[in-house]
Chains A and B, each alone.
Chain A
């Protein structure tokens, strides 16, 4: 008698695990996409996946809507490199992966569990969107997920893998998660699809152009990473997880990286060209000072004038922010302010120390910036630095002019330790601009304006273009030898490891959005 029951379990399991049926699975494969369960097998450690709510079906009384076990999503928990995670993976083979009332309940349950346990929640999106047949209940379903995303935000890390479509309101869930990885040519996100765009605006645009991985990674900044294929997507997620803690009460694990914390690099100063206005790649400096040159860049193709990403220093996970002189001379603008501010707030939520490298000539001028609100967006960066209570170490390696100097982790934003290289230039304005204002009269009356300008600029540079004036005032703590940048930052981080700082009690601030 019991044998029969065991047999029934086996057949139920088989039925549920085939999702929408063999035919639909083959259709998925023929598009070059893996099924929900295959993706989970790739992401999680072998044999660690426990599926929950396998036999859940929808409760709609619409006779035309067939019932499938699982209701379009596979949810549950498992481990990634030994770390506990919860996850949900949309099943495109079931009703196009559309979201219904019960699908949402499953996903919310998984998110609730993750919140109870304090571990990351990962969502794999491959969905046709709201299930029309379930009407308002599917919208209700999305609302429920959005609420969970918001509650989880800043409590547990939330990561989204976009490996299929995601349209309409559904896109707001990934938008609220901490990191979005989109697979090129497979992942797509847009609020309004190409057909409606064509109908309403007579604009012709393809799915990929409108909301593909590249569009979101380069133009909108919605995607933090582009993966070249599904394997790469999961590799990136695993790599990302290795830098962040399980939850907001923990610190990231310290790993033995075998890279001497006292390693000095005499080549560092040579990366900077003689001419301070010449371009160079800040990533070379970053790669030199972090452990084993291992730097996971976030938002690599968006707002390239600022670099953000994770690395380890002496085994300790850190968030790195640095101006990139190779793009827009490293100036700050709307997109870079947004990019860096969000990254800082993530690091602050999850106890990841912040290391800032500064070489910026100021803010990008122009009506484009002004009318699109550089004032609002720029303030976000200042706000984020001030708000953050994780250890903050800043090192000025080149220019630091005006408001941009302040915005890049300066002393008054409560950075803990501020270093500067001997060639650092901290000033209100660059030399050429400054002398036109200070010496306006002299320049007007000068017989040879160009010569005088050059002379005055040089004087200004000699007098102000050094960090010692700021060091005299205690705004720079130490002027360091560039080759010692790595050991100096590591020593600062070690000293600040147990930093505790509080902010005035408030429900939350009113950061200018």
Chain B
């Protein structure tokens, strides 16, 4: 399998060679063999020795293309299948006004305290569409492109989570 860790450019090649007794697994990463000794395993949590160094891993989110893990207290995103990602990225480029581009999403979790624009009007990139409040901070969510504000998907007082769609601009 091919892995891309965090923002690192290089792709790491890794596979399991075989499992042995007493919870040991032999893995090959970037051409070198390493012994993985599983100390403790639970739902989405592992403690193991990788070549005698202790590590603690917690799987935060398991997706088809990426795994979000907390390794030794540090959150990291490990992307799998990088070659396939290259292929798929062509659709986003080719699709033009695909779903991803129309949606204005929230960068923070919070509450809608003000709807600053009217749906059905033209907006420019940078115009304030919605104002969110969280942890006593007010954050203005601005239009990510020029276009027609087709729909505002949230109402005053609504709670939003990070990456929720706030509005659609076409």
Classify A-B as touching or not with yes or no (CB < 8 A): yes
B17 smallest CB distance to A (angstroms): 12
Cβ contact within 8 Å between A34 and B1:
no
B95 proximity list for chain A (CB < 8 A)? 32, 184-185
Which among A70-78, A196-204, A222-230, A473-481 touches the partner chain?
Answer: A222-230
Bound CA span A43–B63, Å: 10
A80 smallest CB distance to B (angstroms): 10
Cβ contact within 8 Å between A42 and B91:
no
Which among B24-32, B47-55, B82-90, B113-121 touches the partner chain?
Answer: B82-90
Cβ contact within 8 Å between A32 and B63:
no
Cβ contact within 8 Å between B90 and A42:
no
Cβ contact within 8 Å between B159 and A184:
no
Selected from A32, A185, A281, the residue in CB contact (under 8 A) with B158 is A281
Bound CA span A279–B156, Å: 11
- B100 interfacial by beta-carbon distance below 8 Å: yes
Which among A106-114, A231-239, A378-386 touches the partner chain?
Answer: A231-239
B91 proximity list for chain A (CB < 8 A)? 31-33, 185-186, 229
Of residues 77 to 124 in B, which have CB atoms within 8 Å of A's CB atoms? 81, 84-85, 87-95, 98-100
A229 proximity list for chain B (CB < 8 A)? 88, 91-92
Selected from A226, A231, A284, A326, the residue in CB contact (under 8 A) with B65 is A231
Bound CA span A366–B15, Å: 63
A281 proximity list for chain B (CB < 8 A)? 155, 158
A284 proximity list for chain B (CB < 8 A)? 158-159
Of residues 187 to 242 in A, which have CB atoms within 8 Å of B's CB atoms? 214, 226, 228-232, 234-235, 238
Cβ contact within 8 Å between A42 and B84:
yes
B29 smallest CB distance to A (angstroms): 15
Cβ contact within 8 Å between B64 and A234:
yes
B22 proximity list for chain A (CB < 8 A)? none
Selected from B87, B99, B155, the residue in CB contact (under 8 A) with A33 is B87
Cβ contact within 8 Å between A32 and B87:
yes
A231 proximity list for chain B (CB < 8 A)? 63-66, 85, 88
A279 proximity list for chain B (CB < 8 A)? 155
Cβ contact within 8 Å between A326 and B99:
no
Q: A184-B99, A185-B98, A326-B155 are in contact. Are A230 and B88 (CB under 8 A)?
A: yes
CB contacts between A and B, total, < 8 Å? 67
A256 proximity list for chain B (CB < 8 A)? 43
- A38 interfacial by beta-carbon distance below 8 Å: yes
Interface string of A33-51 (1 = CB under 8 A from B): 1100010011100100000
Interface string of A8-24 (1 = CB under 8 A from B): 00000000000000000
Chain B contact-residue range equals: 20 to 34
- A29 interfacial by beta-carbon distance below 8 Å: yes
Bound CA span A326–B151, Å: 14
A193 smallest CB distance to B (angstroms): 20
Cβ contact within 8 Å between B90 and A32:
yes
A315 smallest CB distance to B (angstroms): 12
B158 proximity list for chain A (CB < 8 A)? 281, 284
Q: A229-B88, A256-B43 are in contact. Are A42 and B65 (CB under 8 A)?
A: yes
Bound CA span A435–B67, Å: 60
Number of interface residues of A (CB under 8 A): 29
Cβ contact within 8 Å between A228 and B64:
no
Bound CA span A213–B109, Å: 28
Cβ contact within 8 Å between B81 and A228:
no
B80 smallest CB distance to A (angstroms): 9
Selected from A29, A30, A185, A238, the residue in CB contact (under 8 A) with B64 is A238
Q: Which of B84, B98, B100 is the most central at the interface, judged by chain A CB atoms within 10 Å of its CB?
A: B84
B89 proximity list for chain A (CB < 8 A)? 32
A186 proximity list for chain B (CB < 8 A)? 91
Cβ contact within 8 Å between A29 and B81:
no
Bound CA span A256–B88, Å: 35
A42 smallest CB distance to B (angstroms): 5
Of residues 114 to 170 in B, which have CB atoms within 8 Å of A's CB atoms? 155, 158-159
Cβ contact within 8 Å between A34 and B90:
no
A43 proximity list for chain B (CB < 8 A)? 64
Question: Which partner residue on chain B sits nearest A42 by CB separation?
Answer: B64
A46 proximity list for chain B (CB < 8 A)? 1
Of residues 1 to 29 in B, which have CB atoms within 8 Å of A's CB atoms? 1
A184 proximity list for chain B (CB < 8 A)? 95, 98-99
Interface string of B35-62 (1 = CB under 8 A from A): 0000000010000000000000000000
Cβ contact within 8 Å between B90 and A29:
yes
Given contacts A184-B95, A284-B158, 12 further A-B contacts (CB under 8 A): A32-B87, A32-B90, A32-B95, A33-B91, A42-B64, A185-B99, A229-B88, A229-B92, A231-B64, A231-B65, A281-B155, A281-B158
Q: Which 6 pairs show the lowest CB-CB distances between chains A and B?
A: A32-B91, A32-B90, A231-B65, A185-B95, A234-B64, A29-B87
Would you give 8 A-B contacts (Cβ < 8 Å), ordered by A? Answer: A31-B91, A34-B84, A42-B81, A228-B100, A231-B63, A231-B66, A232-B64, A281-B158
